[in-house]
Amino acid sequence: MNSTHEPGHILVVDDNKVNRLLLTHGLEQQGHTVETAENGRQALEKLHAGNFDLVLLDIEMPEMNGYQTLEACMQDTSLRDMPIIMTSSLDELDSVIKCVEMGAEDYLVKPLNPTLLRARITASLEKKRLRDQQRKLFRTFATDQVADQLLNEGFSLGGKYVDASVMFADIRSFTTLSETREPTEIIELLNNYFALMFDAIIGHGGTVNQIEGDGLMAVFGTPIRHDDHCEQAVRAALEMLELLDGFNQEQAALNKPQIRNGIGIASGRMISGYTGTQQHATFTCVGDTVNLAARIEDHTKIALRPILIDRNTCAQLSEEIGIEALGPVLFKGKSIPVEIFAVNPV
């Protein structure tokens, strides 16, 4: 009984010694490594201590039965994604159905059928591997906080009103720059630039939800709520400038092009949510506040100040941050002038 699939680390939980021996030996023959527990309490201890891929869980056990163990696993964020296969006798099928409804991956009826055992274990391990892979991929593209929130609360399309800060940042005169340089150099430059900007944004609790060309859009205060999102957004902007200064010094030393950017921030109510389809969705924010932030960022070219913010953002800032009122500006397409403030770089 050699398995052609990748082996897993499996925890067998059963109070019955014959069953434990049988499963351990059978699974080891299929190439898996196996540990055992005699009841739910022991199982939870082992699960917290070890790195398992799968649990085979008996229902009828003393001290802590399979049902209670499953419930404890489902309530524990570190164990919730562990695939659990219930093992039970045919006359416990009612309880098994309840367990599957509660989140058990699958079930096996005792006496165990070797073919079924093998098939269910292979399928569960395969699903676990895919989930782990997905999670890893997901972490590459989303910040840890967003990833955790999505993994815990699940993903659904649709939005809600939130109070948050939006930031737009663009590189100044990038088009001119890109026309005079080699494509590989331009992409490398952009990648280095974005790496620094992402660092500053994520470091201040923000989420980058759009990159387009040389521009980016980031939000603070959603999808993860932060009450101090205005301060966080502005501090992120200040750090972005600081990092960019350091980057430019390195570029100058290497006789490579330097870049400048403009950052606009606006705060207030907006609609935040996941848009797209179930297969391809992005987190985004829409509304007047978002439009305003984009206009303010555009205005940095005229005001010749690297960071501009709106009144809502300004009102929430601590005194440590140096602000200068630039007066009202009438943006294209708006009927009422908007007050704009410049943030002084440190």
Partner 1 sequence: MASVIDMNAFENLKQMAGADFIGELINTFLDDAPQLMKQLHSSLNSNDAESFRRAAHSLKSNAASFGANHLSALAKELEMLGRENKLNEVGDRLKALEEAYQVAALELIGMAS
Binding site for partner 1 (CB under 8 A): 1, 15-19, 21-22, 25-26, 29, 60, 62, 89, 91, 110-114, 117
Alpha carbon distance 70, 15 (integer Å) = 16
* Helix/strand/coil (H/E/C) assignment for every residue in the chain: CCCCCCCCEEEEECCCHHHHHHHHHHHHHCCCEEEEECCHHHHHHHHHHCCCCEEEEECCCCCCCHHHHHHHHHCCCCCCCCCEEEEEEHHHHHHHHHHHHHCCCEEEEECCCHHHHHHHHHHHHHHHHHHHHHHHHHHHHCCHHHHHHHHHHCCCCEEEEEEEEEEEEEECCHHHHHHCCCHHHHHHHHHHHHHHHHHHHHHCCEEEEEEECCEEEEEECCCCCCCCHHHHHHHHHHHHHHHHHHHHHHHHHCCCCCCCEEEEEEEEEEEEEEEECCCCEEEEEECHHHHHHHHHHHHHHHHCCCEEEEHHHHHCCCCCCCEEEEEEECCCCCCCCEEEEEECCC
Considering the complex, state which of residue 16 and residue 122 has its C-beta at the smaller distance from partner 1: 16
Q: How far is residue 264 CA from its own chain's centroid?
A: 25
State in angstroms the smallest separation of the CB of 84 from partner 1.
Answer: 19
State in angstroms the smallest separation of the CB of 98 from partner 1.
Answer: 17
230 backbone dihedrals φ, ψ, rounded to 5°: -65, -50
State in angstroms the smallest separation of the CB of 83 from partner 1.
Answer: 20
State in angstroms the smallest separation of the CB of 65 from partner 1.
Answer: 10
Considering the complex, state which of residue 12 and residue 343 has its C-beta at the smaller distance from partner 1: 12
Considering the complex, state which of residue 1 and residue 130 has its C-beta at the smaller distance from partner 1: 1
State in angstroms the smallest separation of the CB of 2 from partner 1.
Answer: 12
Alpha carbon distance 93, 99 (integer Å) = 10
State in angstroms the smallest separation of the CB of 22 from partner 1.
Answer: 5
State in angstroms the smallest separation of the CB of 78 from partner 1.
Answer: 31
Considering the complex, state which of residue 19 and residue 207 has its C-beta at the smaller distance from partner 1: 19
Considering the complex, state which of residue 111 and residue 158 has its C-beta at the smaller distance from partner 1: 111
State in angstroms the smallest separation of the CB of 270 from partner 1.
Answer: 58
Nearest to 109 by CA among 120, 98, 101: 120
Considering the complex, state which of residue 26 and residue 262 has its C-beta at the smaller distance from partner 1: 26
295-317: string of b/e by CB count within 10 Å (b at 16+)? bbbbbbeeeebbbbbbebbbebb
Considering the complex, state which of residue 67 and residue 341 has its C-beta at the smaller distance from partner 1: 67
State in angstroms the smallest separation of the CB of 9 from partner 1.
Answer: 20
Considering the complex, state which of residue 17 and residue 225 has its C-beta at the smaller distance from partner 1: 17
Considering the complex, state which of residue 96 and residue 309 has its C-beta at the smaller distance from partner 1: 96
